[in-house]
Amino acid sequence: MRFYIDPGTGSMLFTVLLGIIGAAVYSVRMFAMKLRVKLSGGKVKMNADRIPFVIFSDNKRYWTVFEPICREMERRGKSVVYLTASEDDPALTCDLPHLKAEYIGPGNKIYARLNCLNAAIVLSTTPGLDVYQWKRSRQVKWYVHIPHAASEIVLYRMFGIDYYDAVLLSGGYQAEDVQALEALRGLPAKELHTVGIPYMDRMAARLAEEGEAPAHPRTVLLAPSWGKSALFGVYGGKILDVLLKTGYHIIVRPHPQSFQSEKAMLDDLMAAYPPSEQLEWNRDTDNFDVLRRSDILVSDFSGVIFDFTLVYDKPVIYTDPDFDLAPYDAWWLTKPLWTASALPRIGCRLTDDNMADLKNLIDECLTDPRYAEGRREVKAETWEHVSQGAARTADYLIAKYDELLKEEEGK
């Protein structure tokens, strides 16, 4: 006789099993540690096996977020364990002696490892801690979230950061939104610490080192997010038709998640609009070069908008799809999204009514001085402590570790 378990039930049972295993592992470890302490006459510390600093990355593309922090921790002689869900994560081959990088995927192996982790501090850009399969380990003292984009902290799926202990922010408006959610949901206050944006600091330093791109034809970068509300989900190939009519060089860089969640749609688009002298499709892991050689960006609500406009000081054209906030934390808030006030200051809005005039919109954005002034305003609001992000992040992590150690020793 065969039994069928639907995927939802299977996931729930796996989560329950992980919880049982985690509790059992914790109990065994605690018993073994207490036994070692007793047999050593108190000479062995209770948390001798605890890892001071762990970074968890669910995808190799977030190495750009963590690399500046890892290098700053390396400069200070601090050892970091880097756990990644990508087998080809650049962290696995980097040149940092104090960084121990380990591939822990795929699938449920990730959660089996994370849910039984023994560490003082875990830093991650992954939302959903203690909401889905990734549960708080009883042996981790402090969970810290750092965003991977310079925009809203409330555009994660619902409850995305609720169960972190601390969030590292880039601007004051983010702190206001997090505190508003905490009040609405009756959550304990998290530590909110403004550090800036380490990966954008590194990008800006790299741009200063390498300089502007060599002379090239006017180039438009089309970089949509993914999902039904994203640019391709709303306009499909129509946007490519209009862009090609401008006569400008077009680079299309889909969101990495699109190649997994919307593969059929992208396959159809790439077949209908094959690479040519005018059109190129870009999938570089490192987006530095493609951003540097593009003169203007066309996108939707993708975080790359702010990377492009704030680091490279260039304008954008943004679409305004019918964005359903229902699945996101922002749905709980009554105030408009900060992004809604930022976008008109850094570029033009693209609609069905003005799409045929896209070439003129591009030319206007590239020449109108009001957009340059808008970029300066938006940068001041969402990118505080420019060039200090990695140092301030390391300051926080090290100070918090020392604080946790003192609390434990005082018990």
Residue 151 confidence (pLDDT): 87
Instruction: For residue range 337-350, list pLDDT tens digits in order.
Output: 999 899 999 999 99
pLDDT for the residue 3: 41
CA 134/CA 112 separation, integer angstroms: 9
Question: What CA–CA distance (Å, rounded) separates 154 from 379?
Answer: 19
Quote the pLDDT of residue 228. 84
Q: What is the DSSP string of 160-217?
A: TTTT-SEEEESSHHHHHHHHHHHHHHTPPPPEEEE---HHHHHHHHHHHHH-SPPS-S
Phi and psi angles of residue 234, each rounded to the nearest 5 degrees, phi first: -90, -45
Give every strand in the sheet of 191-194, ordered side by side. Answer: 99-103, 80-84, 51-57, 119-124, 140-145, 166-169, 191-194
Spatial separation of the C-alpha atoms in residues 163 and 409, rounded to whole Å = 25
Query: What is the predicted pLDDT for the residue at 178?
Result: 97
Q: Which residues of 202-222 are buried (b: 16+ CB within 10 A; e: fewer)?
A: bbbeebeeeeebeeeeebbbb
How far apart, in Å, are the Cα atoms of 400 and each of 91, 238, 376, 407? 24, 51, 33, 11
Q: What is the pLDDT of residues 174-204, one digit of tens each?
A: 999 999 999 999 999 999 999 999 999 999 9
Torsions phi, psi of 100, nearest 5?
-105, 100
Residues in the chain with pLDDT < 70? 1-47, 321-323, 411
Residue 187 contacts residue 160 (beta carbons within 8 Å): no
Please give the backbone phi and psi of residue 66, each rounded to the nearest 5 degrees, phi first: -90, -25
**pLDDT at 20 (0 to 100):** 54
